[in-house]
Chain A
Amino acid sequence: MARTIIPFGPQHPVLPEPLHLKLVVEDEIVREAIPALGYVHRGLEKLAEIRDFHQMIQIVERVCGICSMVHSLCYCQGIEEMMGIEVPERAKYLRTIWSELHRMHSHLLWLGLFADAFGFESLFMQFWRIRERIMDINEATTGSRVIVSVNVVGGVRQDLTPEQCSWILTELAQAEKEIKSIQSTILTDYTVCKRTQGVGVLSKEQAYELGAAGPTLRGSGVAQDMRQLKYAAFDKIDFETVVETAGDSYARSKVRFREAVQSIDLVRAAIAGLPQGDLAAPFKGNPEGEIITRVEQPRGECMYYMKGNGTKFLERVRIRTPTFANIPPLLAMLPGLELADVPVVVLSIDPCISCTER
């Protein structure tokens, strides 16, 4: 049988971002996948040398648009830990609310794109219509739809009034109703099941050994979620990690769907327990020392390594994003698949190439 190499990407209808894979195929069956990255490298980490540590918050937010709030949350937590700043309780709860809203809109965006990948355009539009409610909440409460820029070192910049809280709750109730109304379509529809069940299977051992993160890992049956580290207000809010055991594309989409619904409950719990108090703690000085912080992004575990030297410029910022961790599992999933299934499987890890290359 003749071997052929078919390029997948960097421009492809299902890919929002430039990921390039060389697919070695034999009679339409993928035998090997060779990744090529580096199309959108922007050198954001290098900027830490010429921007002070306050200005870096706005820069790390722009690593990725969809999880911008969570990136800045991770960065601020690291600086706070380095400088020993005690964040007020209200700020912690507000951070939780906005990070869960980000998780929700990221998952709804992905579910829409996933439906689009196997040609279900109507479902794609349904999901994005629900997402619009979450984007409106972001815009009305913070001033921007995507890059909310609410975090500062020591707390948050924006506050939520009681009227805004009650409006958020009514919007979320409506969003939950709408999500539930299309639950049967995404989870039990014949087309969806046919294209996703048993496709791109990643076993529990493989996922663990190859270092998968986020829904890719939890879809394979490993109950690991960085929110278990109890950052922000997750020590006060109980939640159960969403786990599926099948390890195929269907399990990963089910994890994301269930997490989107779970986030609504987490926002409700955070609003119910919102304490009174300051928004940000005052502090003096510059960060000094080394730190590693981890948070759970919509796509999985995000890790920041920071090194401060007592000046206002950080010596080093290293960002390890979930998609970087999910590329080796992706390469393990692809061999043995039909060529037509490749877009669905590639999308099932939710690739964010801007994050990976920074």
Chain B
Amino acid sequence: MLKMTSTVLKNLFSKSSTRMYPFEVREPFPLYRGELFNDIDTCIFCKKCAIKCPSQCITVSKNKENGTGIWTCDPFACVYCSICVDVCPTQSLHMKPNHRKPSATREMIDMTGKVKVPKKKAAPKKTE
């Protein structure tokens, strides 16, 4: 054990390696894959995220009658791989660098937005 003496003494007189966690929180790294969030205003409900998701935790449905779309994510099934963020064509999906708040009950992320009507392409002008 004598071999450890210098290390032990150094540890005794240096700053603590751990943090007083709830009072002192480390800044998250900017790339950290934390909570998944959908900016529903720019979402076009194309279902690409739902198809590519490895854990199949995202469901997207469109209601053509009232023009609303529903984007649902089960955060308890999500594996935080950010594949959906990579494939999103409108960049409406992104990940916040913070953890999701803990909860005692199963909570789904439900988001309802308006389905954008695709602009009709102008018919090619007839040349006379």
Contacts from A to B (Cβ < 8 Å) = 51, 54-55, 57-59, 62, 122-123, 126, 129, 132, 136, 139-144, 147, 149, 157-158, 181-182, 184-185, 188-191
Contacts and interface: CB of A to CB of B under 8 A. Distances in A.
B49 to A, nearest CB: 13
A122 B79 contact: no
Contact of B55 (A58, A142, A147): A58
Contacts, number: 56
A88 B23 CA distance: 46
B17 A55 contact: no
A129 B1 contact: no
A191 B1 contact: yes
Contacts of B116: none
Interface string B62-99: 00000000000000000111110010000000010000
Contacts of B53: 55
Kindly list the 10 A-B residue pairs having the minimum CB-CB distance in the complex, ordered from nearest. Answer: A58-B54, A55-B54, A143-B33, A140-B29, A143-B31, A185-B3, A149-B81, A189-B3, A184-B3, A58-B81
Contacts of B83: 58
Given A55-B54, A58-B54, A58-B55, A143 B3 contact: no
What is the predominant secondary structure among interface residues of chain B facing chain A?
loop
A139 B32 contact: yes
A182 B95 CA distance: 39
A236 B33 CA distance: 32
5 contacts: A123-B4, A126-B7, A140-B31, A189-B1, A189-B3
B75 to A, nearest CB: 16
B31 A141 contact: yes
Contacts of B31: 139-143, 158
Contacts of B80: 144
Interface of B: 1, 3-4, 6-8, 17, 29, 31-33, 52-55, 79-83, 86, 95
B41 to A, nearest CB: 25
Nearest to B30: A140
Contacts of A141: 31
What is the predominant secondary structure among interface residues of chain A facing chain B?
helix
Nearest to A181: B7
Contacts of B4: 122-123, 182, 185, 189
Contact of B86 (A59, A147, A157): A157
Nearest to A129: B17
Contacts of A142: 31
Contacts of A144: 32-33, 80
A289 B3 CA distance: 56
B25 to A, nearest CB: 15
Nearest to A47: B54
Contacts of A139: 29, 31-32
B33 to A, nearest CB: 4
A311 to B, nearest CB: 16
Contact of B3 (A59, A157, A188): A188
Contacts of A132: 17
A55 B57 CA distance: 13
Nearest to B83: A58
B7 A182 contact: yes
A190 B2 CA distance: 9
Interface centre among B8, B33, B79, B81 (most CB of A within 10 A): B81
Nearest to B4: A185
Contact of B54 (A59, A122, A129, A184): A59
